[in-house]
Structure 1
Amino acid sequence: MFESLTYQTISYQDRKKFNFDEFDRFLAFLEESFPIVYSQQEFETVNDYALVYKWTGTDSNLKPIGLTSHYDVVPVLERTESDWEHGPFSGTVSDGVIWGRGTLDDKIGVMGILEAVQHLVQQGFEPKRDMYFMFGFDEEIGGAEGAKAIVDLLEQRNITFEYVLDVGGAIVEEMVPGVSQPVGVVGVSEKGSATAELSIEGSGGHSSQPNDQTNIGRIASAISKLEETQFKEDLQGPGEDLFEFVAPEMSFGMKYVFANKTVFEPIIEEILLDQPASAALIRTTIAPTIFQAGEQYNALPEKASAIINLRVMPGDSLRDIKQFIVNTIDDPDIQVTITGSEATKVSASDSNAFQNVQQAARNVHHDSIIAPYLMFAGSDAKHYERISEDTYRFLPALITSEDLQRMHGTNEQISVENYVNAIKFFIELIQESNH
């Protein structure tokens, strides 16, 4: 794990910035580190850098299972390198903590899976069903040449999975209202990601003689209306399933409320809206991220625009979202365009596949409740929907709210214990899936 973090396998939106020498070095490192895996399993690359391993099972009548992850990482923001306690690509281990970009997202998945497979091969374990291990190299920018290309290839070969597990949810503490135990949240769906642009054009002029409403003011007013109104909350789907799973372990008061959800749903939703993380479980979210207007301090801008990132709930269409924005801002001169993707399908939480993930997690984290949830961020799992009955998203690590802030941020890290437990989880999962 430690050395894997020293390779700067960075994804950039501009693919011309990729330093594929670092990717080549990382692939050479994998082959040197896991000789048993490479010598005893089928292996191929897709688009040179996406990796596919096949462990052939003893019963070809059983559907295969896929474990996937990615080894690309996001860049370190310029001029923040000195803010790291240990270098972002140092792979330093200090006081039981591993430091570096990729510890949480997501070389822990790649290395954890390969460590688990190599261990099981050494122990003489033979899976009943075919097992595929698939690693992308551009997940951080959408996975078009990695995971999507893998899926295209496997689809041509008519290979379909019982389930695919990717990274996503984790084991969290004090982040689910009313529950004191750790909760392992397994993503059964992920929100869509859409971009709305609000733009307006009109006369500019000298700042000494402004109209009562300027282009900047009108765009700002539109954003204010959206933030004040918000999309309608609704406790349904994966969010509702999460609380049904954890309800038995809640404090008495919360248990009573959730046991009578029909009566108390408005109160439950009010509780969830109190925190951003739980609010995102029950509504499409609005996040203004870019505002552009003006070039001169004493000249009114002729154009103004704003970009809003939306994370889309299952069931919400981009068409409906656009109509909501148009109706809410109520300004015919502001043009609204929207692009992006809707939420993925919702995978089963009452299937054997989910129970395998659940049991494997419990085998390692004995005191945790393992429950389905709705993942807010994107993952490569969305690509595998085409060839898999179910897709799940789970990082087998106990993390805190501070860890979530470090993911893609400064001082990304994971404990050695968490890394070892991730390996144990993948060992357990492979065994549970091959009974």
Structure 2
Amino acid sequence: MNGSSAAHHHRRLQLPYLSVILAVAVLVATVNGGEFTDSSAIISRFQQYLRINTAHPEPNYYKAADFIVSVANSLSLESQILEFVKGKPLVLLKWPGRDSSLPSILLNSHTDVVPAEHEKWAHAPFDAHLDTSSGHIYARGSQDMKCVGLQYLEAIRKLQNSGFRPLRTVYLSFVPDEEIGGFDGAKKFADSEVFKKMNVGVVLDEGLASPTENYRLFYAERCPWWLVIKATGAPGHGAKLYDNTAMENLLKSIESVRRFRAAQFDLVKAGLKAEGEVISVNMVFLKAGTPSPSGFVMNLQPSEAQAGFDIRVPPTMDAVSLERRIAEEWAPASRNMTFELGQFKHKVSVFDKFGKPILTSADSSNPWWALLEEAIRNANGKLGKPEIFPASTDARYFRELGLPAIGFSPMSNTPILLHDHNEFLNKDEYLKGIDIYESIIKGYASYVEHLKDEASRDEL
């Protein structure tokens, strides 16, 4: 055989070998999750989750739980369904670490969403419509907070495909009922024997979208106080002027509350304080009058009148002085007024079980905070100033135990649309958030705590 013939024969032999190599490459990619890590597949899973209607008052919790478990199975994560209250399943996933003696990481999210007024949406709220021109995914829960729950799982998928194995155990909890207080979800979970055995060292929970390029981190949240003020007085003819009628006394209280609210709001408007740093007060109901078949009796002054207020108190504020203001100024007994707060209406303490303000250290004294900031920057994310969350999340139930809990949702350059019509999250922002969580989970799950003196530990 001459040289040219031999060369021709060699080239012919290469073709089948090349086909085999390509086939093996495709197989390896598939085995390693290539078919699952394609961006279109990632977005498709997000849409599947969003299409499960978990809105109150009848959230389809079981369908959501089945979906979460199916995704967990594709990642070979351990899973269990807990039902502290029948009909309200909590999904708990586990990615075992190499050292089970180390405190674990808990990534928390809630499966329920608030109701949507369908007729006021441009796209049906549970269709998870992807606008191809803008890249926006319209759905109830796209920001609050089904995005975060799925981003945790997608980040773990990427870490597994890279060969990463966690040193610390990573747990993921998908809890019910956050939008109606979390009493049958995160609260019962945090108080359970199951949670105690998990040896949790830090909790990540939800944050808020940021209209700027800076991500928002939350180290505390305002505690809800639900106040009802009741005024009483002698009933009388609608034409007569009386002193201290129920309505007159209640109106005096409402005006006093309004002045306080305005003063707090002025601090925010002037840029002196963030929204989460002031006490917010909003009247949510007014109940008075004597009903009649056609509405209300117009010539009769009522003997009772009530007003309800949603108050949010930062853990940095003096709660005792606020309680004194309520008793002495907003609902004084001298004006025939009473109020319900605490035992009868919802009141969350501004202190944890150790008597300390219910907040998480947001500086270098807290290694979890420092690790989080470093991980976000490593993934090319930018950070704003640490904040107090203006509303309430399930994080409070973990902070009450003295655990560090940080609120964070990786949504930058995104309008804040939680609980709003046409809630959306851009697909590119969603994908970027997965990279952010990949960096965070890797940093947290690899963390080796250095020896500290007792005083340093107390600061945490």
- For the residue of structure 2 that corresponds to 1:281, the secondary structure is helix
Show the 5 A alignment for 1:47-196. 47=83, 49-76=89-116, 80-94=117-131, 95-154=134-193, 157-173=196-212, 182-196=213-227
Deviations 1:72-100 (A, max 9, x none): 00112xxx321101001111111300011
Aligned residue pair count: 375
1:410 and 1:66 map into 2 onto residues whose CA distance is: 31
Tell me the equivalent position of 1:249.
Answer: none
Tell me the equivalent position of 2:63.
Answer: 25
2:162 and 2:402 map into 1 onto residues whose CA distance is: 29
Tell me the equivalent position of 2:11.
Answer: none
Q: 2:410 aligns with which of 381, 386, 396?
A: 396
Q: CA deviation at 1:105?
A: 0.6
Deviations 1:44-102 (A, max 9, x none): 111161111111111233221111111100112xxx32110100111111130001110
- For the residue of structure 2 that corresponds to 1:140, the secondary structure is helix
Tell me the equivalent position of 2:8.
Answer: none
Show the 5 A alignment for 1:387-426. 389-400=403-414, 403-404=415-416, 406-426=417-437
Matched to 1:69, the amino acid is S
- For the residue of structure 2 that corresponds to 1:433, the secondary structure is helix
Tell me the equivalent position of 1:310.
Answer: 311
Q: CA deviation at 1:157?
A: 4.3
Deviations 1:88-143 (A, max 9, x none): 11111113000111001110111111111122223321001111111111111122
- For the residue of structure 2 that corresponds to 1:4, the secondary structure is helix
2:316 and 2:80 map into 1 onto residues whose CA distance is: 37
Distance 1:129 1:223, change over 3 A: same
2:101 and 2:66 map into 1 onto residues whose CA distance is: 35
- Across the aligned residues of Structure 1 and Structure 2, the Cα RMSD in angstroms comes to 2.5
Matched to 1:323, the amino acid is R
2:337 and 2:64 map into 1 onto residues whose CA distance is: 48
Matched to 1:336, the amino acid is F
Tell me the equivalent position of 1:347.
Answer: 360
- For the residue of structure 2 that corresponds to 1:343, the secondary structure is coil
Q: Which runs of 5+ in 2 are unaligned?
A: 1-45, 352-357, 447-460
Residue 381 (structure 2) pairs with residue 363 (structure 1): no
Distance 1:205 1:8, change over 3 A: same
Matched to 1:133, the amino acid is L
Residue 261 (structure 2) pairs with residue 225 (structure 1): no
1:215 and 1:290 map into 2 onto residues whose CA distance is: 16
Matched to 1:87, the amino acid is A
Distance 1:151 1:279, change over 3 A: closer
2:420 and 2:374 map into 1 onto residues whose CA distance is: 32
Contact 1:160–1:387 at 8 Å: present in 2 too? Answer: no
Matched to 1:25, the amino acid is K
Q: 1:434 aligns with which of 409, 431, 445?
A: 445
More RCO (CA 8 Å, sep 6+): 1
Q: CA deviation at 1:423?
A: 1.2
2:188 and 2:327 map into 1 onto residues whose CA distance is: 37
Deviations 1:2-24 (A, max 9, x none): 12111111233xxxxx35xx222
Tell me the equivalent position of 2:4.
Answer: none
Sequence identity percentage: 23
Residue 48 (structure 2) pairs with residue 35 (structure 1): no
Distance 1:156 1:62, change over 3 A: closer
Q: 2:278 aligns with which of 273, 276, 283?
A: 283
Contact 2:359–2:399 at 8 Å: present in 1 too? Answer: no
Distance 1:140 1:203, change over 3 A: same
- For the residue of structure 2 that corresponds to 1:168, the secondary structure is coil
Contact 1:60–1:130 at 8 Å: present in 2 too? Answer: yes
Deviations 1:343-374 (A, max 9, x none): 361212222211222122223444x2343211
Residue 33 (structure 2) pairs with residue 9 (structure 1): no
1:386 and 1:286 map into 2 onto residues whose CA distance is: 23
Matched to 1:86, the amino acid is H
1:30 and 1:229 map into 2 onto residues whose CA distance is: 45
Q: Which moved more, 1:26-35 or 1:372-381?
A: 26-35
Tell me the equivalent position of 1:321.
Answer: 322
Deviations 1:316-351 (A, max 9, x none): 465542211232245531212212112361212222
Residue 345 (structure 2) pairs with residue 338 (structure 1): no
Matched to 2:361, the amino acid is A
Contact 1:113–1:423 at 8 Å: present in 2 too? Answer: yes
- For the residue of structure 2 that corresponds to 1:397, the secondary structure is coil
Matched to 1:32, the amino acid is S
Matched to 1:54, the amino acid is K
2:423 and 2:326 map into 1 onto residues whose CA distance is: 36
Contact 2:231–2:306 at 8 Å: present in 1 too? Answer: yes
Task: Answer with 1 or 2: which has the greater Rg.
Answer: 2
Tell me the equivalent position of 2:270.
Answer: 274
1:408 and 1:230 map into 2 onto residues whose CA distance is: 23
1:32 and 1:155 map into 2 onto residues whose CA distance is: 22
Deviations 1:189-235 (A, max 9, x none): 111100111111222233122425542232122111122145987xx
Matched to 1:57, the amino acid is G
Contact 2:72–2:93 at 8 Å: present in 1 too? Answer: no
Tell me the equivalent position of 1:372.
Answer: 386
Q: Which moved more, 1:328-337 or 1:46-55?
A: 328-337
2:61 and 2:327 map into 1 onto residues whose CA distance is: 45
Contact 2:372–2:440 at 8 Å: present in 1 too? Answer: yes
1:140 and 1:338 map into 2 onto residues whose CA distance is: 21
Q: Which runs of 5+ in 1 are unaligned?
A: 13-17, 174-181, 234-268
Residue 232 (structure 2) pairs with residue 201 (structure 1): yes
Distance 1:153 1:273, change over 3 A: same
Contact 1:99–1:413 at 8 Å: present in 2 too? Answer: yes
